[in-house]
Each structure stands twice: as C-alpha cells, then as structure tokens.
Amino acid sequence: MSKGLLIYIILLLNTLNVLGQMNPPFIVEDDLTNLNASNFISNFGDVTCERSIDDIVELWNEGSFTTIRKKSNIGFTQVCYWMQFQLINETDTTKNLFIEISNPELEGIDFYIFDEYQQPVKHVTTGSKFPFQQREVDYRNFLFTLNAVPFSIYTIFIKVDKQPNYVNVPVKVWDAQYKIEASQIVEYRLGMFYGIMLLYLFLMGLISYFLKDNYYSYYTFLLALGLAFIFINEGFAFQYFWPKYPWPQNVIRYLILNTYMLVSILFVGNFVKDKLSSNKVFNFIRGGALFLLFISIVILLYPAMNQSIQFWISIILSIVIIIIHFLIFAILYFSYKSSGDKSLIGLVIAYIVAFGIVLTFTLVKFGLIPINIDSSRSIYVGSIIVSVIFSVLLGFRVKNSIADNKNLRTELGLAGIRSSFALLEGQEKERIRVADELHDGVGIKMSALKMKLSSLKYKGDDDGRKQKLTNIIEQVDNSCNNIRSLSHSLVPRNLERYGLSAAIHDLVNESNQRSKIKIIFRQKKLAENIDNISKLAIYRLVEGILNELINRKVEQVSFKLVIIPSIQQASINFRYIGRRVEFGVNRNLATVRSIIQVLNGQVRWTMDTMWSNELDIEIPVVSKTTENVKS
C-alpha cells in the first residue's frame, strides 16, 4: 500500500513538473521541525477579486499560477493574491502540523486544504478584520492546523484579500510540538524586551516628572509611543487588549506613528532651540508639526474612507515617515555641525538608528526587500541601542547632578564666609581709592603748589616777610608729608608685596621703633595660602590691638598667630602685663571690634594674675584652595 502510494506521488510530481508551472511539493519528513514554505508556493493575482475557490482550482489545473520563488512579499497592491502549495506526508505516522502565516497585519485570509482526491478537508476564513476569538488557534500570527495522515497529499490554497496595507505572506510549516517549544523562546525574548522597555519607560517617566525637563518628557512619550507601536504591530495588542474589536488596529497604529513623528519633531525642535540661531529651522519645524497634525485628523477619518483612499493614505504615510526622519536627522546633524554641541552626538546616533529602521521597513512595505516579518528584530535591537545611549547620557547627568550638588554645598559654605568679609572688602576698597588719589593726585598738586610758592619773589628784603613766606612753604611741605604718610597708612603696601608674615614683622619693627614697649613676635613663617582679604583682616586686627596696647603703655607684649587654612580658621593670641583693656567700649578699638563682629569672630580674655593678661581672637579665613574650587 505504502509503496504504491509513493509511486503514485512520484508520478504525480513528474506530471506536474512536466507541466512546468508548479513548484515541487513540500515533503514532510520524520525530522521536520519547521520549514519556510515560500520555495514551494506558486501564486495568482486576481484583479477582479471575485473568483471563487472552484474557479481558482480550475485555473490552477489549467496552469495559470506562476511560481515566484523566495518572494512572499508583494508590497502595496490592489490585487487579491492566491497562493498554492502541495504538502506530502512521507512518514508512516500522523503528523500534527501548524501552517503559519507570520504577518498579523493581513486583513482577510481564506485558507483551504484539499486532499489528493481534490476533496475539501478544511476551509478557514480569518484575518485581522475578524474578532480574535474566531481564530482557529489563539496566536498573534495566523496558525492553521493540519493532521496529516501517513502517506497523503494535501493541496493548500490561501487567498489574501485586497487590503489598504502592503501584502506580505510568509508561510511556514511547523511540527506542532516544535512550534510550541520554539514559541516559548520567541515569546520569552519578546517579553524580556517589553519588560526592559517598560521599566525603562517607568524610570524615564519618573525622571521627567521630577526633573520637569521637556527633554525627558518628550523622550518618555516617544518611547511609550514606539513601544505601543511595536506591541500593536506584532499583534499582541489585538490578542490581549481588544480581541473583540478588529477595527481600531489600523487607526491606532497610524495615529501612534503620526504622533510619534509629531513628538519627534517637537522633541528635536526643543532640543536644538538653544543651539541654533536661525529662525528658518523653527518655522520649518512648526510647519512640519502642523502638517502632521493635519494628517492626524485625516487618520481619524480613516475607518469612514473607502478602501482605495485608505490604500493611498498608507502609501503617503510610509513616504512621509521616511521624509520626516530624514529631515530630523539632517536638522540634528547640521545643529551638531554648527554648534559643535557634544550632547547632540547621542541624539544623532539615535536618529541614525531610527532612520535605518524606518528606511528598512518602508522598503519592505514597498516590496523592495523580500523580508520575512519575523526579522523585525531590527526594531528591538534598535530600541535597545537607543535606550542604552540615553541611559548612559542620563547616568552622566545624574552623576553630574550629584557632583554639582556637592560643589554647590562647598560653595555655599564658602559664600557664607566670604560674605562676612564683604564689608571689610568695601572698606578696604575705599581706603585704596583714597590712598591712590592722595598719592597720585593731591600729593602731586601740593608739590606743584610748593614749587609755585618757592618761586615767589618778595617785595624788598624784609627778613620778617621772607620768614613768613618760608613758614608757608614749610606748612605746605608738612601737609605734603601728611598726605604721604596718610596715603601709606591707609593701605599696608607691604602686605600686598611681601605677604602677611613680612607685613606683620614690619608692623612690629615699626611699633618697636615708635614706642618704648618691646613687642615680641617670633614666628618666621605663617601659612600664606589664604586670600588677601583674610590676610588684611588679620593684619588690621594685629595693628589695631598693638596700637591700643602701645597707647595704654602696657609691658612685655608678645603675640602668636595660628592660621589653619584647611579648617578655614585663624587665631591671634596676645599676652601682656598691664591693665585689662575694656574691649567692648574702647573707642580706639572700633575697627577691631567691627572686624570681629562682621566676621562672626570670637574674643576671649583670661587673666592669669592681677596684671598678666591674655587675649585670644578667633576669626574665619578663606583658604586659597577653596577659592580655586569655586573658580
């Protein structure tokens, strides 16, 4: 029986091959797992779309079908396509088979199976325009079962209705068990992808909510739209979200696509806003956005349109997508070229990826690439690449934000100290100004006056008169000296030129010369890495207190200075023998008091014995290193 059957098959095959119009049949062997059926398919384009299965079988018998090897993708067409292939079970067991059409976008499919006697075995009408529950197998792609009995021949006809979208009919034959096993892995991977993207979306959502930055909001929105589009495109949405309602499929898909482009444009516009000065680009972006808004409205009317308008809208949308992506990429690229802003690099790369994906998909839609729908993996890879780029950018942003905050905290502390020096700085600025004016302006003018007076001639030789004039000149001279010394005393020039240590030693030497009191200051070196105004504050404090002590004629004055820039503090310690200085009310100490007060410094008196006194002053200082940090 089995041998006879085999011979029958071979004979049949030969006959068909002699006719020259048929592909070889699909042979089911014991080790079948899955096989692409494209090589075995011949097809027929029915322009009228009104032929019945009987007409078609007849046409097939007449040899009107053509063989198109390896091409399941027909592209945009307004013709109904009939596909046919033969399947032979060569094994001696009943084979549970799944025949899969892995394009969930096909709107109407009629699936026929005939046995070797041309008796119908099965007829299933399905497609994405029918509710999901009507499917033979609940799966996002179209699956048809066939229990192929041993040594049998089946002829399979598939009719794909005219549809407004492109027509791609990748047919695969699966061993049922293997399909279940393989689909686990496929779904698991897709699930991983959605899981990753969902959390990523959630995090981006959180970030855009907290940052209140349009940049992230747009990106989050884009991400959500992209994800929704893939989810719908893969047929998941139909299966799990609205299985009863097939009509939203296309409208939602197109709306999402259009909104995606709209947000894309706004996102890019927002991003290059600060980077481009040209208004033309913005007008252009605005124009693009308005155009897309118009298309959105057209899409809303989509279900009410007739099929041929729908068809042209699909084509136009496919072209618009490419143009928009190309333009966005161009805008980004030129913004990057003209502004040199490195933050654009990530975005440019992201759009290269996006552009690549869109281009590939559009070429597929136009039937230019005979790609199987399963290879939409590029979308997944693309999204992951883009996500990684954005995550890295975000990571940097978070890192910078944390570092910025740290710096700002340091700066805040510094600003606090610095602000207490501001009053002192203002005073010092004024002193410098006056000193300069006295030295350069008034001083010179007085010298000129002196010269003028010296050149005066007297009436007669009266000594008294001469003396009088000499007195005036002496007086002027005296004023000149006063001006000079005032100018010098206003600004401690040594401090600026030679540093704190030298200036204080000069001050001590000068005081020792001026008075009989011996002042002892033995420190050779002081920490100099504090800023000038801090040095000045210390100098003024030492100066003021020494002057007061000299005025009070105390004895055995000695003092120490400790400056610790790392903790931003300086302390001055005086010791002397004599009466205690009433710090709070003394008029001569007004400057000292005001310095300590404005700097929030501290003063402490200790009396060892009746006469031995100790005065400690602590003030904050600004260290040079922290100042550098700020700048």
Partner 1 sequence: MYLYRKSFLKHKIFILFIFLLTGYSCLWASVDMPIVIGDDFTSEYLKNHFVYRIESAKDSADDYQLISYKNLSLGIVNKKVSIKGRIYSQASSTKTILLEIYNPTIDEGYVYITNNGNVTDTIKFGDKFKFNQRAFKHRNFIFPIAIEPNTEATISIEIEPQLEAMFLPIRLIEEKLFLKKSTKDFLSIGIMLGLYLIYLVFIIGLFIVVKRNLFLFYAIINFFVLMFCAFDTGLGMQFIWGNSPFLQDIVIGVTGFGYVMGMIFFGRAFFSTRIKYPKLDKILMMFIAFAVLSFLAIIILYFILGVPILVPLMLLNVIFILFGITISGLGIVTYLQAGRREGFWFLLLFLVQLIIWLLLLNQRGYLGFLFISPDASIYSFFYLKTATPHYIFINMIAEVLIVSTIIAFRFQNNLEEYNISQKKIEDINEESIKAFIHGQEVERGILAETLEEKLGKDLKSIKREILKSKEVVDDEESVSIALHQLQDVQNDLNRIASDFVINWQAVSLDKIVNRVLDQLQMAQPDLQISHSVSDEAAELNWDDLTKLNIYRMLQEVCNNVIKHSKAAHVNVLVQLLDEFLQIEVKDDGVGFNSNEIALRDGIGLRNIETRVRALKGKLEVLSKVGEGTTTHITIPRKSNINQ
Q: Does 117 bind partner 1 (CB under 8 A)?
A: no
Nearer of residues 407 and 606 to partner 1, judged by Cβ: 407
DSSP-derived secondary structure for 55-89: HHHHHHHHT--EE-TT--EEEE-SSEEEEEEEEEE
Cβ-based neighbours of 498, under 8 Å, separated by 6 or more:
none
**Binding range to partner 1, per CB under 8 A, among 112-120, 334-342, 398-406, 554-562:** 398-406
Nearer of residues 288 and 492 to partner 1, judged by Cβ: 492
The answer to whether 85 and 171 have CB atoms below 8 angstroms apart is yes
**How many of the chain's residues bind partner 1 (CB under 8 A)?**
99
Question: Taking the complex as a whole, how short is the minimal distance between the CB of residue 111 and partner 1, in angstroms?
Answer: 15
Residue 180 burial class via C-beta count within 10 angstroms: exposed 0-12, middle 13-18, buried 19 and up? exposed
Nearer of residues 68 and 486 to partner 1, judged by Cβ: 486
DSSP-derived secondary structure for 512-563: HHHSSS-EE---------B-HHHHHHHHHHHHHHHHHHHHHT-EEEEEEEEE
Question: Taking the complex as a whole, how short is the minimal distance between the CB of residue 242 and partner 1, in angstroms?
Answer: 16
Q: Does 448 bind partner 1 (CB under 8 A)?
A: yes
Residues 224-263 that bind partner 1 (CB under 8 A): 236, 240
- Start-to-end C-alpha separation, the chain: 96
What mask of x and - would describe binding to partner 1 in positions 424 to 443, judged by CB under 8 A? xxxxxxxx-xx--xx--xx-
Cβ-based neighbours of 260, under 8 Å, separated by 6 or more:
222, 225, 226, 229
Q: Does 479 bind partner 1 (CB under 8 A)?
A: yes
Among 94, 558, 602, 625, binds partner 1 (CB under 8 A): 94
Q: Does 123 bind partner 1 (CB under 8 A)?
A: no
Question: Taking the complex as a whole, how short is the minimal distance between the CB of residue 14 and partner 1, in angstroms?
Answer: 32
Among 65, 151, 200, 216, binds partner 1 (CB under 8 A): 200
Distance CA 288, CA 283 (A): 9
CA distances from 301 to 254, 304, 305 (A): 11, 6, 7
Residues 539-568 that bind partner 1 (CB under 8 A): none
**Binding range to partner 1, per CB under 8 A, among 24-32, 67-75, 264-272, 453-461:** 453-461
φ/ψ region of 578 (left if φ > 0, alpha if ψ in -120 to 50, else beta) reads: left
Secondary element (H or E) of residue 264:
helix 248-272
**CB crowding 548-576: b at 16 or more within 10 Å, else e:** bbbeeebeebebebebebeebbbbbebbb
Q: Does 478 bind partner 1 (CB under 8 A)?
A: yes
Among 194, 302, 326, 583, binds partner 1 (CB under 8 A): 194
Neighbouring-strand partners of residue 571: 562, 618
Residue 112 burial class via C-beta count within 10 angstroms: exposed 0-12, middle 13-18, buried 19 and up? buried
Strands (E) in 370-426, as ranges, are none
Contacts 24+ apart (CB under 8 A), 550-556: 550/511, 550/514, 550/515, 550/517, 551/588, 552/578, 552/579, 552/581, 553/517, 553/578, 554/517, 554/578, 554/579, 554/613, 555/517, 556/518, 556/520
Nearer of residues 199 and 319 to partner 1, judged by Cβ: 199
Question: Taking the complex as a whole, how short is the minimal distance between the CB of residue 405 and partner 1, in angstroms?
Answer: 5
Nearer of residues 66 and 478 to partner 1, judged by Cβ: 478
Question: Taking the complex as a whole, how short is the minimal distance between the CB of residue 91 and partner 1, in angstroms?
Answer: 14
**DSSP 8-state symbol, 273:** T
Among 30, 58, 62, 138, binds partner 1 (CB under 8 A): 138
Question: Taking the complex as a whole, how short is the minimal distance between the CB of residue 609 and partner 1, in angstroms?
Answer: 37
Q: Does 297 bind partner 1 (CB under 8 A)?
A: no
Among 3, 244, 280, 457, binds partner 1 (CB under 8 A): 457
Q: Does 395 bind partner 1 (CB under 8 A)?
A: yes
**Binding range to partner 1, per CB under 8 A, among 62-70, 143-151, 333-341, 608-616:** 143-151
Distance CA 464, CA 470 (A): 10
Distance CA 510, CA 492 (A): 13
Q: Does 202 bind partner 1 (CB under 8 A)?
A: yes
Q: Does 134 bind partner 1 (CB under 8 A)?
A: no
Neighbours of 171 (CB within 10 A): 24
Question: Taking the complex as a whole, how short is the minimal distance between the CB of residue 456 and partner 1, in angstroms?
Answer: 5
Q: Does 629 bind partner 1 (CB under 8 A)?
A: no
Residues 312-371 that bind partner 1 (CB under 8 A): none
Among 111, 139, 229, 521, binds partner 1 (CB under 8 A): 139
Q: Does 148 bind partner 1 (CB under 8 A)?
A: no
Nearer of residues 223 and 561 to partner 1, judged by Cβ: 223
**Binding range to partner 1, per CB under 8 A, among 157-165, 178-186, 285-293, 492-500:** 178-186
Question: Taking the complex as a whole, how short is the minimal distance between the CB of residue 68 and partner 1, in angstroms?
Answer: 30
Neighbouring-strand partners of residue 26: 87
Among 445, 514, 553, 579, binds partner 1 (CB under 8 A): 445
Nearer of residues 468 and 604 to partner 1, judged by Cβ: 468
Nearer of residues 207 and 570 to partner 1, judged by Cβ: 207
Token pair recorded at residue 588: 């001569």
Among 45, 120, 131, 195, binds partner 1 (CB under 8 A): 195
Secondary element (H or E) of residue 109:
strand 109-114
Among 14, 33, 125, 177, binds partner 1 (CB under 8 A): 177
Nearer of residues 145 and 556 to partner 1, judged by Cβ: 145
Question: Taking the complex as a whole, how short is the minimal distance between the CB of residue 209 and partner 1, in angstroms?
Answer: 8
Nearer of residues 48 and 133 to partner 1, judged by Cβ: 133
Q: Does 408 bind partner 1 (CB under 8 A)?
A: yes
Nearer of residues 196 and 502 to partner 1, judged by Cβ: 196
Residues 9-38 that bind partner 1 (CB under 8 A): none
Q: Write the single-letter amino acid at 416.
A: G
**Binding range to partner 1, per CB under 8 A, among 294-302, 318-326, 467-475, 572-580:** 467-475
Token pair recorded at residue 514: 């001026």
Q: Does 190 bind partner 1 (CB under 8 A)?
A: yes
Reference 171, options 146, 142, 135, 145; nearest CA is 142
Residues 605-624 that bind partner 1 (CB under 8 A): none
Distance CA 223, CA 386 (A): 10
Q: Does 458 bind partner 1 (CB under 8 A)?
A: yes
User: Residue holding tokens 């516009």?
Assistant: 269
User: Residue holding tokens 């497609």?
Assistant: 127
Residues 481-520 that bind partner 1 (CB under 8 A): 482-483, 486, 490
The answer to whether 263 and 218 have CB atoms below 8 angstroms apart is yes
